[in-house]
Each structure stands twice: as structure tokens, then as C-alpha cells.
A and B are shown apart, each in its own frame.
Chain A
């Protein structure tokens, strides 16, 4: 048993729903109690889908447990087929139905429906959403895809995009455009937009596969490499460097030589070199999310924004090893956890100036008064924008630049805040202009309540003298937490028990970079 408050991933059958909902002409019959239908609203609310997910739930109740839940499953399955006439039927159980062991696969097969039925066995008590999506995609491909002659012109499949994926909709458009510009046809995109017919007839025709999201597509890519001889790309094209590497990989796989992707729309490189961005240098960022987005974000943060990565982590254990090794490369500890309280503690301890995370970290950021940009699922309805806003490719790099910079206090503004810190309107309590929602929020976890009259107070066995406390308050709020922490660490190191104004400045000099 593990106590969980907020979870990063749903159960595996939600991953299966993400795959099936992304596809065409496919229906999922889920053996599940009433209540599990809540999952529909993830799609209709967060992603604003204009149709119900193609899922039929058996919604068994206590009284059915005493009689025949297997019969109920068969009836639901038959009724779903008759009503929706899918070209393929996916069947499976949610966590509760897994316990009653009705064997949805066997029951569906016994119905002898005129379309392929794909049974899923997703261990709900061991695995989670990404695994569910990956396994569902793999089972569908394994069952439906047939070997085929390769297309005359070099072509590829784009694999991995699903419903409820972070910016999948726009990433696909961007990557398809880049590939087309480079002279490569996109043969099939799956699961998003693919029908069972497409998978059966077209999947095998591509010369290679683009693995856009390893969390969802890696198992399938490996299978297709082995069965159909389709190699796949390992670079996920999120960020300028990664997109360049991706294109050189594509160049090798396709044998086409130079890629002619149109980089004139890329502005993020100049935006980053331009002088207003100077002040990004060394900004301390903490990165947490799914492994793929964390890895790509870490590279962008370090090489393309000039930030200092002070901590990374991911919630999907399947990728723990690669995140730990990235941590080693960066010289920071890597946190692999599903417990948001642990993430919060890490952030509180590191006091970064920017968090790149999921909606969970956005809430942590609000609580701690640290700006946050969302880089990964799970995300909130407001992180599923109406406008075109990919993460992948050249336009993705532009979007990422804007998104990450938005929550920060910009260069000149930072100086102005510092200059006029004692102005009654333009002070640090007022906060930066575009972060109005942060105004006057008590900052939990930091003891700098500026409304209080300064007085000596004890923290971690250290006493802050009145003048030091006053001086600390003159430091802009967005670096004050760091200044306090550095000073205290410095004092402890030096064996000083009372922090004076001098200690503060000695610490500042000590930590100057």
C-alpha cells in the first residue's frame, strides 16, 4: 500500500483509452464498475474533445457480482459492436474487473465478431498509464500490421502521438512538415488519426519509423524493426540541438543526404543570443516530468537558454536509469518518484529560480512562490491551447523559448525592482507586473513575512540579527530565499551562530559566481 495524494499517471487502462481515442474506427470495451466512466471527462474536459471517447464500460454493480458479470461483459461487447460498428475492437479490464477474472479477451473471442478483437492484459496493480498506452499500441500493431512492399519514394511513419498527450497534436504537424521539407513522405501517423485498415495496409510500407514519444512507441518501434526491418529514430526532436540531431539521424536512415528543412521560421536561436536574454545566464532551474520531456528540456535549458540545471527527475520508473545517468552527466541528483511531496521537498530545498514541470509542479511553484512553466503531462486544460503550439521542431523551439521566459521577471524589470525596492508601489511585495496572481500570497515554506516588524529570530539554530534581517528584506523577493539559504549554510560552515549584516555580505561574496 502506498499513500498517494496527487498522481502523475493514471491507471494503465487510461493509457489504453488514450491510444484508442486517438484512433479512428476503433472501439474499446472496458470491463469496469460504474464510476470508472470518470475517465471520459479527461478527454472531453482537458482536451475539449467534441465527441465521447469510443469506450463502452460494462459498469457492473455489487448485485452483478453475485450473478454473472461475464454475461454482462458479453452483452456490452455485442451491443457496442452493433451500435458503433468499429473496424477493430479492443477489450480489457480495469483494476476492479481484473480481480474478478472474467477474461474479457476469451469472452469477446467467443462472440465471433466479424472484426479483429484485441485483448489487453494490463496489470493495474503494478503498472501505470504510460505502460498501458505503450502496451495497447504494441498489441494493436502486433495484431493488425501486415508486412508490405516499401513505398517507392522514401517514407516514414510517425509513431507515438495519442490523445491527451502534451502537445502531441501540434508536434505531429511540425515534424510532418520538417520531414516533407526534407523530401521524406509521411506514410502513416499512429496511433493518432490511424484506422485499423491503415495499420493493416500501410504500416509495413514505410522505410523507417520516427519514434516521437519513447514512452508510448518504443516497444512498438522495436517490434517493427525486428519484424518489418524498419529502423527507427532515437533522437526526440524537441529543442534546436535535438532537432538538428534528429535530422542528421533521418538523413542517415533515409540515405538522402542533406536535409533541406526550412529553418527561416526558427527565431529562438537569435532570441537567446540577443542581449535581453543575457540575464538568463546561470538562472537555476529544476526540471521534472516524463523522462522524454525532462531529457529534452535539460538540454535546452543548458545549451539553448544558458540556465543552470540544479535538479532533474521523472515520474516514470521505466526510464529511471536514463534519467539517473543524465543526472550524473549534469552533476545533479536525479529524483525518480511518483510522490509529489518528495518533488516539493526537493524544490523547496533547492530554491530554483524557475521550475520546468507538470501541472503538479505548477501548483508547487505557486505554493512556494517560484515561477513555473509546463513541459510535460499531466497538464491542465489551460496548457492545451487553441493556437498552434508544438514543442517539437523549429516552431517548437520558438514556443518553448516564449513559454519558459513568460513566467520570469525580465532583465530590465529585474533591475528596476531592485532600484526601487523601497517605493511604495513598485516594491517586491507588488511582485512583477505580469504575475499579478502571485501578489500578496503568503509564501509557504519561507519565513520572510515582510509585514512583521523585524526582530531577531532563530532558524536552524541560527539567529538572524535585526540589521541582517532588514538587509535581507531589501533583496528582491525572487532571490531572497536563495540568499537566506546561502547565508545560513555559510554561517553553519563557519560555525557562526548569529548572522549579522556582515555575515550576509560575506556569504554573498563567498557564493559570488
Chain B
């Protein structure tokens, strides 16, 4: 299952001991994934069963509110719901009924568990089964947990997709599935390249609507577009699909190796591969050239956030010439990020989990040229004199693939450029 990495096994940071941290985690919970999932899955509604805090988190993390009524909401638990479970289930029924009455276009409803609903052990999977029977076949009701006690930020998407795997239809056909919510523009670019490579029956997961969902079976292969999809990966494997491992498609090199892993799995002739990827590869290299020399030689420090940190560090070090000082990730699934770890040159501290105050101490000590961190930390660090890039932008903007390689590098260069530009 190894990839055709230019480096050979057991190299880079693959054996670097991981600094495991426990303490205050300054990260979002998995509910945050709803912000992009509800735009991606167009016939779905995400109903968080939680507290006022959950509702407040969602609107704060979204940063700006979306004008139209969004396809998510929070059923806020009240005192009486905590007192009796039976009542809570009843209440949920009536909330769902009201919602589906008002929003008849909804075809998939996700009941999303939160910290309070998990602590009071409100059984949302049972509720989902019951409601599915009630609203079938028009609406399918699923449940997953986006709670902070179980999930960190992007793990919410993992939990959501994993919950959908069991609903996928079975197939004997040979099909390829791209797994992970990508902006439509990136998804279309990948589908176009794969078509040119002669690979047929490609679908995406999550699909934009329920009716275009991928199918799964022994002859289905899948590749992850995002590194945080460990549970989804296992769930797909449990249903017989096989996983194509590869570094993640960030930058020219990452995208090429990612596509190459697919091409290899489908025995695409290397001359075809070269021909199809040559033009976009050159475009990506050209776009990167303009920015990478600005980043080259500068140091970077990652606070844990989205699990994108290791693949992004690999991109910044290898394609932009940066020096990684610490690469922090909320969770490291070695099975999934090993290809990226192997390619990341030795040197940085690799840390998992967080004790935010001691990590801030480490960061201040090494004074990186660029710090990648969440919005709670960015302004305070800027005020201390460090250039920062807020990490949530990496999850919200199109950054995968050839055509975005230059944009991705530019995202990291922007805070540095701004500091050079300003005379204040």
C-alpha cells in the first residue's frame, strides 16, 4: 500500500518521537464542521441538540452570518429536557416535525450530538432510527456526535461522513470515490483531471445531494482528500472498499503524488499521466515560484487545529523552502499521514494534543517568522510581535490541487507581506 514517494520508507519525520501534550486545548469542537458541511450538502439540515453555548459557537465560528436562513440550527436543551429523558425525545420529535414542515426541501437531516447531549446520554441514534421510519422515504435522518468531549474541529466532518457510510448503496462495479468535502471548484478540477486520465465512475463523498451519493463495495477504491477522515476511512474499508494512500494534494508535489497514487491503482499509463498533468503542473510551479522565494528560509510554527498541519508543513518545507519549528496537530493518525510525515524533513518538534500555555511558551522562545494558529490566539500573538496566519481560513478556502497551489502559498505569505508593507 505504500506510495511512490520520492523518498523511501522510514525517513523524514516518520520516526520522530511525538510530543504528547495534555492540558488546555484551544481548539474548536466538531460542531464547527457544520459551517462548511451545510454549504456542501445542499439538501441536508444539521440540527444540533445542545445548549445555548453550541448555538453561540456556531454563529461565532461562522464569523459572519449568512443572510439566508442557514441549513443548520440548534435545538437548545432547557431545564425540563434535562429532568426527563422521555420528554426530551418527545420534544425532539416535535422540533423535527416543525422543521420539516417549514423546510420541505430537506432530504437529509443530521441530528448532531453535543457535549450536554452526550453527558445526559440522550440517545440520538435511536431518535434518528425512529424518525427515519417516520419520514421515509422522503427524508433520511442520521445522527453523529460533534461534541467537544469526543471531537476536535475537523473531526466533526469525519463523524458526519462516517455516519453516512452505512447508508451508501452496495455495488459490484469498479468505482472511485474522492472522500472529503471540497469546495465545488476544486472538486470539479479533480474530476476533470481524473476524466482525462481515463478513470471512469468517479464520485465524491459527501455528494452535493442525497440522490448522487457514491456506492460502495469490494471493487470500489477511495482516496482521502483531507487527512482528518480516519473513522470514515475505516467505515469505508469495513464495507469492502479499498483505501489508496497518498500524501495529501497540497501544492504541486502533493497533488502530483496524490493523483499518481490513483493513476497507479487504475494502471494509467505513465505517458498519459505525464501528458494530462504536465500543463497544470507547470502552472502550479509557476504560481508557486512567485511566492515561494518570499517564504523561503523563514520559519513556521503550527498550533494544533485541523489535522491539516502535517501535510501543510510538508508543503511549506518542501515546496516553499520554509523551516518548520513545531508542527502541532490535535490528533495524529499515523496510518493516514505517514506519507506526509515521511516526506517532511527531520527537524521540527511534532506535537499532538495541547497544553496551550506551555505551547505558547515554546512558541515565544523560538520566535517563528510565521505562526499558524486559531483566532483566539492570533491577535494576542500579533500584539507580541509574531506574524500569524489564522488557521480556519485553510479549512474555509479552496487550497487543494494544482490551480490553488499558488493561492495556498500566498495565504501564508500574506501576513508577512502585510507586515513588510505597513509603516505603522
Contacts and interface: CB of A to CB of B under 8 A. Distances in A.
Interface of A: 1-7, 9-11, 13-14, 33-42, 44-45, 48-52, 56-62, 64-65, 76, 79, 83, 94-96, 99-100, 123-126, 128, 341, 359-360, 363, 366-367, 380
Interface of B: 23-32, 47, 49, 51-53, 55-57, 59-61, 63-65, 67-70, 72-79, 81-82, 88, 91-92, 95, 98-99, 115-116, 118-120, 147-150, 152, 357, 374-380, 382-383
A2 B98 CA distance: 11
A209 B171 CA distance: 75
B53 A10 contact: yes
A100 B67 CA distance: 37
B51 to A, nearest CB: 4
A59 B52 contact: no
Contacts of B26: 37, 40
A5 B57 CA distance: 11
Given A7-B52, A94-B53, A341-B69, 17 more contacts: A5-B74, A7-B59, A14-B56, A36-B148, A37-B28, A39-B60, A42-B60, A45-B63, A48-B379, A51-B383, A61-B148, A79-B357, A99-B82, A99-B116, A128-B52, A363-B67, A380-B64
A186 to B, nearest CB: 28
Contact of A37 (B64, B69, B95, B376): B376
23 contacts: A3-B95, A5-B72, A5-B74, A6-B55, A9-B52, A13-B53, A33-B29, A33-B149, A34-B27, A35-B31, A35-B57, A35-B148, A38-B57, A38-B61, A41-B375, A45-B63, A57-B24, A65-B149, A95-B51, A95-B116, A96-B148, A125-B78, A366-B67
Contact of B378 (A14, A44, A341, A367): A44
A367 B70 CA distance: 13
A380 B65 CA distance: 10
B119 A100 contact: yes
A49 B380 contact: yes
A463 B24 CA distance: 64
Nearest to A5: B73
B158 to A, nearest CB: 15
Sorted from nearest, which 3 A-B pairs have the closest CB atoms?
A35-B29, A35-B148, A40-B376
B82 A4 contact: no
Contacts of B152: 34-35
Most chain-B Cβ atoms within 10 A of its Cβ — which of A3, A9, A11, A49? A3
Given A3-B95, A44-B375, A35 B115 contact: yes
Given A2-B78, A99-B116, A38 B52 contact: no
Contacts of A56: 24
A11 B78 contact: no
Contacts of A128: 52
Given A37-B25, A44-B375, A7 B119 contact: no
Given A60-B149, A95-B52, A96-B116, A2 B76 contact: yes
A125 B376 contact: no
B24 A58 contact: yes
A94 B50 CA distance: 13
Nearest to B378: A44
A125 B50 CA distance: 10
Contact of B65 (A83, A94, A363): A363
Most chain-A Cβ atoms within 10 A of its Cβ — which of B32, B51, B52, B376? B52
Contact of A45 (B76, B78, B379): B379
Nearest to A367: B67
A96 B115 contact: yes
Contacts of A366: 67
Given A35-B31, A36-B53, A125-B82, A1 B380 contact: no
A125 B27 contact: no
A295 B70 CA distance: 31
A394 to B, nearest CB: 31
Nearest to B376: A40
Nearest to B87: A1
A62 B150 contact: yes
Contacts of B95: 1, 3
Contact of A52 (B30, B31, B376, B382): B376
Nearest to B92: A1
A38 B55 contact: no
B194 to A, nearest CB: 36
B53 A41 contact: no
B97 to A, nearest CB: 11
A95 B24 contact: no
A4 B116 CA distance: 16
Contacts of A40: 26, 376-377
A50 B31 CA distance: 27
Contacts of B23: 59, 79
